[in-house]
Chains A and B, each alone.
Chain A
Amino acid sequence: MRSDRRSLRHVFRETVCVPNSSSAGRRSHHCGGRRSDMSSEMTAQEVRLCGLLLQEHFGDVVEKVGTHLIRSGVLTLRALAHETKLPLDLVKKSLCVLMQHGMCAFGAGRRGPAGPVEYHIICERILHMLRYPRYIYTAKSLYGDTGELIVEEILQRGQMTMSSTVKTVADRLTHNMPEGQSMDYSEVVSAFSRLVETHFLQRCPPMASAESSSSGADNTPLPAVTQPTEPEDHPECYKLPYINLTGQGKRRRSSEDGEADPRAAKKAKTDSSERGDEGIYWQVNFQRFHLHFRDQAIISAVSCKLDQTSSEIVRTMLRMSEVTTPTHAAFTQALSANEIFRALPSSYNIARPILDQYLTLLVDDPMEFVGKTGDSGGGMYVVNLHRALANLARATLESVVQERFGSRSARIFRLLLRKRHLEQKQVEDFAMVPAKEAKDMLYTLLSENLVQLQEIPKTPDYAPSRTFYLYTVNQLPTARLLLQHCYKTVGNLIERRLYETKENKRLLEKSQRIEAILASLQATGAEAAQLTEVEEMITAPERQQLESLRHHINKLDSSENQVDETIFLLESYINSTQAPR
């Protein structure tokens, strides 16, 4: 089905230089302090990356508004329009777009409900845009093409009602089916319900009305300021509305009578209000996808380190504790070996004692993915989620050092991670590296800030001859440093791609035009001679240039996806170390 989508769509845009100077935004005193997970302190690299992502998806205007709002923290509409020097209408439109996608939230300002509304940006939602292909691919692998299209539609539009999603997806599927067939709405509805049941989709939180405490105030039916709430607080977060939706997807014909469209459009508008789910919007539950990715990472690590059967056991354990484990738990609920044995997929015919051996192996493994918490029921086992994340992050750090500085530097780095503090002499001895080279490597790592120096004075006057200088590595700060490097990397990749596209803009335009001409010629049935004549309008060296450009852009895009995987691991690790809210 995707074969028609494989052709590269060339896009070009002028590179916009995002100014890199930023002081940390002032901390937002957020409306009642409800959303404590929102830190308005964004690093310069994160702000730059957010700006590039906004520009790519929503254009220059939204990018300008968004980056300014990130830097300033919290602003009212008037202040924002004044400071960005954009017309008020454009600012309003941009804020609407950002709110539709859940990237901007509003709340009562500092002057209380009577004052103007203040807006702030939720930065992590913008950074999630980098991961959209991964979300869509996961939905496809779990729920097929229907699920994939549902998630894609909702991601692109921010939030949608169930009925409009079902209709759009059915139409899209019908469009790709052979002539005469069409997709029934009920199939799409069932895929949607499965996504909601497994919590991949959730309702957008309803607006709680701000209390109008002033007595004798005018009785307006709609409150002037509505407060958003957390989606999970709402008890009906995952409840499907009852909608009366029957029918099939419509095939949109290109030669359709123009007059039919306004009628159909009007009908669609009145239909959605009759469907019964007006005002109930659905959004993608990113948290749930992240848990899924985390589980996948753990399972693949186990299968790399041990073997396929162990990974299946861990997968079973994770699957069983999916619903019972709270989101920020350090480890899953304890499962007894008997339960695990019963829940194993039937394709794995392993005997009970073999399972016990595997579990013992998993527990003894230095990676500490699985831990034993008791002996009842044949042994109670848990998956240590936070420790697994820490180990995965550590492996990432070690691999980065290895690829950048060589295996001996990596050996020194690993040594320091394990032994915490070591003197220069000790490093040379333990790592079995000659003194001069060890010094060299240590200084290189020190200059890259991957290794820190700790001074321990013997005397109060910090005399250098009487002080111990110990090298040390702290995993958490190093992970944060690496995460910032990753953001910078993705920013650089995007800018390079924009530059490449801009450089070859003329050529890309020409090739697009020729493609359009060819398509129209083919549609009207031209002879082969005419087609070859048009094709020859692109000369051979130009063709080569186009080919190499396509290759470069593919490589840059692919790198972005891959760096995003590292970003996800490091972010999950850092979030797991922070205290749960």
Chain B
Amino acid sequence: MAGSRGRGRSQFTFNVDALGFGRGDSLPTSAQTPSPLFPPMQFRPVPLQTGEEVDYMLALKQELRASSKNLPFHIKAARTKTDVARYSDKYQNGELKNNCIEWSPDWSRMPKELCIKVRKPRKTAIGAKPQLKQKPKVAAKKEEVLQKLETLEKREEEQHSEEEEDEEKKKQNDEEEGPDADEDYDEEEIEDVRKKNHYNLIDNILQSLWCRHLRISFFLRFFQTQKEMSYVKKNIFFCVPQSKESHMV
């Protein structure tokens, strides 16, 4: 075996004819590069099937693809704020948050650890309509508010001593409300525009108060949420003429 190296040197150990070429023929050229990415095809491919069924399924496929983009199952990561926070961010619709899910699955069928806050759908179409209705409403509301203020004013003299206590209690409540404010904001997003009009109303009230000598603490009892209270506190000095300031505070 090893000894035949010198003797039968040019002999192949198998039948050369089986290879498909003779002894003297040159070997086929070796490949220098990897095979091409799109090798040329020997035969043209068979044309695609046609027919009504095929067309229908094609239309179905394209529709499914398009509609799946609009379903809540299509999850997009929330955009990270790269530059300055803009005023318009608050009013733009495309607010996505990572920590809420846009549809409500059946949590009893899923492990508890996956439970996530469900975001209620925002109705943005409301904005247009209430604008028209608010103006006549504003006047009516103002009347109610003024009446309420009068009754409260009468009660003020009776409950003078309780006011300070109430104010303190309210301050404590407001602090507790602080961390919950986020959730309030989410739920109140629907009423965003209504709130704007609400503040217009508060402005109106404040302006009408200059002739009424009311204590600010008393007046604040009328407003319930942290937002409203802070708004009032901020604006009270602007709405009321300066000469009456001392009475109000």
Residues of A within 8 A of B (CB): 2, 5-6, 8-9, 11, 56-62, 77, 86-87, 89-90, 92-97, 99-101, 106, 116-117, 132-134, 136-137, 152, 156-158, 204, 207, 222, 224-226, 257-259, 261-262, 265, 279, 281, 403-406, 424, 435-436, 439-440, 463-465, 469, 554-555, 557-562
Whether B75 lies near A90 (C-beta < 8 A) is: yes
Q: Give the residues in chain A near B15, CB-CB below 8 Å.
A: 465
B56 within 8 A of A: yes
Contact (A137, B53) CB under 8 Å given A5-B63, A258-B125, A558-B48? yes
Contact (A87, B108) CB under 8 Å given A57-B74, A406-B42, A557-B58? no
Q: Roughly how many angstroms separate A8 CA and B58 CA in the complex, as a whole number?
A: 10
Stretch with Cβ within 8 A of A (4 or more), from B97-105, B167-175, B217-225, B236-244: B97-105
Interface residues on B, range: 35 or more
Whether A259 lies near B109 (C-beta < 8 A) is: no
Whether B75 lies near A61 (C-beta < 8 A) is: yes
Contact (A9, B48) CB under 8 Å given A62-B75, A77-B113, A557-B58? no
Q: Give the residues in chain B near A226, CB-CB below 8 Å.
A: 108-109, 111
Q: Roughly how many angstroms separate A405 CA and B106 CA in the complex, as a whole number?
A: 54
Q: Which of chain B's residues has its CB closest to A469's CB? A: B18
Whether A93 lies near B75 (C-beta < 8 A) is: yes
B196 within 8 A of A: no
Q: Give the residues in chain A near B110, CB-CB below 8 Å.
A: 96, 99, 106
Whether B105 lies near A96 (C-beta < 8 A) is: yes
CB A67 to nearest CB in B, in angstroms, measures 15
10 A-B pairs whose Cβ atoms sit less than 8 Å apart in the complex:
A9-B63, A96-B114, A96-B116, A100-B73, A132-B60, A156-B68, A259-B126, A281-B106, A404-B42, A558-B49
Q: Roughly how many angstroms separate A455 CA and B63 CA in the complex, as a whole number?
A: 54
Q: Give the residues in chain B near A89, CB-CB below 8 Å.
A: 98-99, 116
CB A559 to nearest CB in B, in angstroms, measures 6
Residues 50-80 of B, flagged 1 when their CB comes within 8 A of A and 0 if not, give: 0001101111111111111101011111000
Whether A465 lies near B61 (C-beta < 8 A) is: no
Q: Give the residues in chain B near A2, CB-CB below 8 Å.
A: 56, 59
Q: Give the residues in chain A near B112, CB-CB below 8 Å.
A: 222, 224
Whether A562 lies near B113 (C-beta < 8 A) is: no
Whether A561 lies near B190 (C-beta < 8 A) is: no
Contact (A61, B106) CB under 8 Å given A9-B62, A77-B114? no
Q: Give the residues in chain A near B18, CB-CB below 8 Å.
A: 424, 469
Contact (A464, B59) CB under 8 Å given A61-B76, A258-B125? no
Whether A97 lies near B73 (C-beta < 8 A) is: yes
Q: Roughly how many angstroms separate A101 CA and B67 CA in the complex, as a whole number?
A: 16
Whether A90 lies near B77 (C-beta < 8 A) is: yes
CB A312 to nearest CB in B, in angstroms, measures 20
Q: Which of chain A's residues has its CB closest to B44's CB? A: A403
Q: Give the residues in chain B near A403, CB-CB below 8 Å.
A: 43, 45-46
Q: Roughly how many angstroms separate A353 CA and B13 CA in the complex, as a whole number?
A: 66
Selected from A101, A106, A137, A262, the residue in CB contact (under 8 A) with B60 is A137
Whether A261 lies near B123 (C-beta < 8 A) is: yes
Whether A561 lies near B77 (C-beta < 8 A) is: no
CB A82 to nearest CB in B, in angstroms, measures 15
Known: A136-B60, A152-B64, A156-B71. 10 other contacts (CB 8 A): A9-B66, A87-B77, A95-B114, A100-B73, A117-B111, A157-B71, A207-B108, A279-B108, A464-B13, A465-B14
Contact (A554, B43) CB under 8 Å given A90-B77, A207-B109, A436-B20? no
Whether A561 lies near B71 (C-beta < 8 A) is: no
B121 within 8 A of A: yes
CB B67 to nearest CB in A, in angstroms, measures 7
B160 within 8 A of A: no
B129 within 8 A of A: yes
Q: Give the residues in chain B near A424, CB-CB below 8 Å.
A: 18
Whether A8 lies near B62 (C-beta < 8 A) is: yes
